Structure 1
Amino acid sequence: MSIPLVSPAEWWPLWLGAALLVGISFLEDLVGLPIVGRLIMHFAAASTFVIGLLFDQIGLGGAVIAIVAVVWMTNLYNFMDGMDGLAGGMSAFGFAFLAIAAWLAKSHALALMSLSVAAAAGAFLLFNFHPARIFLGDAGSTTLGFLAAGLGLIGWRQGVWSIWLPVLVFSPFIGDATVTLVRRVFRGERFWQAHRAHYYQRLVLSGWSHRKTALVEYGLMMSCGIGALAFQKASDSAQLGIMGFWVLTFLGLGYGVSLVEQGRGRQGA
């Protein structure tokens, strides 16, 4: 709650959007709300941030893309908050690497904001790691996703980092949620309903413990963060190589999950 008080005054659209999300998501946690109503508020929060803080720099077309991206990041964080310690760990690692990147670029305000979120997530993770004693709920997960997108876009527009740095930092969540959603859409499933088709859920269903799955995910998050810092300092050709490496890595990891499932199926046969 104290983070907005020490942020630059001109960032007020970010915190107003976050407040809208906390309010609507808290109501969802308490009484449940229709998905259409929640999405309208998600777009309202994203529009408040993008139009209030970025519109003059990116124009109408860029604003539309940014709003959709913020809404997607807001929701995918909620989708991925399905296992003890996962979203908390992604926040602790992800915002910590944003803080490092901002500090190296001498953007101290952005570094402080990112570090503050990372520290709060780390403290939360102490009680959220399996077996969890406290949980994010929609109010926590959607707000963290919103802040990940918001701080990522602020850093991009300030020239602190390439747009690909925050994408790579949070790619374990972005990749899992996006690929899972696309697969469910092509299968004709009701993608907005609860399910257990995310890659981390499939590992647990295949026999991996929550603790093992979370620790492997932490290793992936750490590797992506280091890769993002290397990407920021690399030449154009090296950046292409880094991105290609991670695309192939995620494809390989997806195939690896399928092999784990097949192995579990053979054991149960």
Structure 2
Amino acid sequence: MSHYSPVVAALVTMLLTIIILISKFGKEIQDIPNERSLHETPVPRIGGVAMMAGLLTGWMLMLTSLKWWIVLPLIGLFIVSLLDDMHNLPVRKRLMAHLAAAAILVVGAGLLTQQGMLIALIVLLLTVWMTNLYNFMDGSDGLAGGMALIGFSIYGVAALISHDDTQAMLNFTIGAAALGFLYNNFHPAKIFLGDAGSIPLGFLAASMGLWGWQQGYWAAWFPIMVFSPFIVDASVTLVKRTLRGVKVTEAHREHYYQRLVQMGWSHSKVALAEYGLMLGTGVTAVSVIQQAFPWTVILAWGGIYAVLMLVIDAAWRKFKRAQHA
């Protein structure tokens, strides 16, 4: 049955997305353009409902293979994030939910007893950050959905290399749900994920990465390298804003992908460039998956990211000067 899970997830997501688009529900909960937005007209922002329904329907075919410490916090995050999409919850309440979800993951996975307090705390903080940064990076048509398709498919391939078909199918099902959503989200996007989609995806990137590490399928660096296009952009942007003394919780358009769009790149071009980057890091990660810590590969990708960011920074400064001229 598990082999049908990805197909079920993709079809259910696609069907529900279409239903949301033609329903009153979709018209009521819309993303109104603000200072962070790259779109100019209101767009329904509850695509996450369709994607999560598709994913969970696909996973139901593999119920016995699921871990409660992934599914329970995942559903909790989905509910809180959907409420946020509808009512704009305070940042503190959202953060409490993210911390609670990460704590359930860390305790449920047995990290405290297996790895000790320090590792458990590091994983907790990384999970909260991954949960949030996926939301930060969900600001351009087709971006978060496409990265989920590629990232979780890479997890699936890595599980297949370790001869675990079930783990592979669990990950392929997440990727397939993202693909079903992408059909209506690629530029020009008819619908957005909203927090109800992007927050659970970020949590899954962390939790499925942790689960694979626990089973010995990959080293701790592997999930970080697979999702590094998102991690690097969000983390470097956060550090730069913190150093400038800007309020971290404030909405903005300073991510590298956002600046590319502002400088004239189309949403499609940005999405495809990011897909290429993620395929590059993902395929590289799989090719050195047996290594405990592939220094040369990590340093090489660090260099590539540094060059890309310096080039975009220089182009941005030139763009701003031209605007003021």
TM bucket (normalised to shorter chain) is over 0.9
Aligned ranges for residues 150-189 of structure 1 at < 5 Å? 150-189=207-246
Amino acid across the alignment from 1:21: L
Q: Is the 2:187–2:267 contact (alpha carbons within 8 Å) kept by the matching residues of 1?
A: yes
Q: Is the 1:84–1:128 contact (alpha carbons within 8 Å) kept by the matching residues of 2?
A: yes
Matched, 1:249 2:249: no
Q: 1:59 offset after TM fit, Å?
A: 2.5
**Residues 81-114 of structure 1: per-residue CA shift (max 9 Å, x gap):** 1111110111000001010011011122221111
The equivalent residue for 1:52 is 108
The number of residue pairs the alignment matches comes to 267
- Aligned residue among 188, 193, 203 for 1:131: 188
Distance 1:235 1:192, change over 3 A: closer
Q: Which whole-Å CA distance do the structure 1 matches of 2:63 and 2:140 have between them?
A: 31
TM-score (normalizing by structure 2)? 0.79
Q: Matched residue of 1:232: which SS?
A: coil
Q: 1:53 offset after TM fit, Å?
A: 1.6
Q: 1:50 offset after TM fit, Å?
A: 1.2
Aligned ranges for residues 177-256 of structure 1 at < 5 Å? 177-234=234-291, 239-256=294-311
Q: 1:7 offset after TM fit, Å?
A: 4.7
Q: Is the 1:77–1:141 contact (alpha carbons within 8 Å) kept by the matching residues of 2?
A: yes
Amino acid across the alignment from 1:252: V
Q: Is the 1:85–1:130 contact (alpha carbons within 8 Å) kept by the matching residues of 2?
A: yes
Aligned ranges for residues 101-140 of structure 1 at < 5 Å? 101-140=158-197
Matched, 1:145 2:199: no
**Residues 170-190 of structure 1: per-residue CA shift (max 9 Å, x gap):** 000000000001111111001
Q: 1:78 offset after TM fit, Å?
A: 0.5
Q: Which whole-Å CA distance do the structure 2 matches of 1:130 and 1:51 have between them?
A: 40
The equivalent residue for 2:83 is 27
Q: Which whole-Å CA distance do the structure 1 matches of 2:295 and 2:241 have between them?
A: 30
Q: 1:3 offset after TM fit, Å?
A: 4.2
Q: Which ranges of structure 1 fall in alignment gaps of 5 or more residues?
A: none
Distance 1:170 1:189, change over 3 A: same
Q: Which whole-Å CA distance do the structure 1 matches of 2:320 and 2:88 have between them?
A: 37
Larger RCO: 1 or 2 (CA < 8 Å, sep 6+): 2
**Residues 18-52 of structure 1: per-residue CA shift (max 9 Å, x gap):** 01100100100001111001100111111111101
Q: Report the identity percentage.
A: 45
Q: Which whole-Å CA distance do the structure 2 matches of 1:100 and 1:111 have between them?
A: 7
Q: 1:10 offset after TM fit, Å?
A: 6.0
Q: Which whole-Å CA distance do the structure 2 matches of 1:84 and 1:90 have between them?
A: 11
Larger helix fraction of residues:
1
Distance 1:227 1:7, change over 3 A: farther
Q: Is the 1:26–1:138 contact (alpha carbons within 8 Å) kept by the matching residues of 2?
A: yes
Q: Which whole-Å CA distance do the structure 2 matches of 1:20 and 1:261 have between them?
A: 39
Stretches (4+) displaced over 6 A: none
Q: 1:191 offset after TM fit, Å?
A: 1.1
Q: Which ranges of structure 2 fall in alignment gaps of 5 or more residues?
A: 1-55
Q: Is the 1:10–1:53 contact (alpha carbons within 8 Å) kept by the matching residues of 2?
A: no
The equivalent residue for 2:139 is 82
| More deviation, 54-63/91-100 | 54-63
TM-score (normalizing by structure 1)? 0.95
Distance 1:229 1:28, change over 3 A: same
The equivalent residue for 2:29 is none
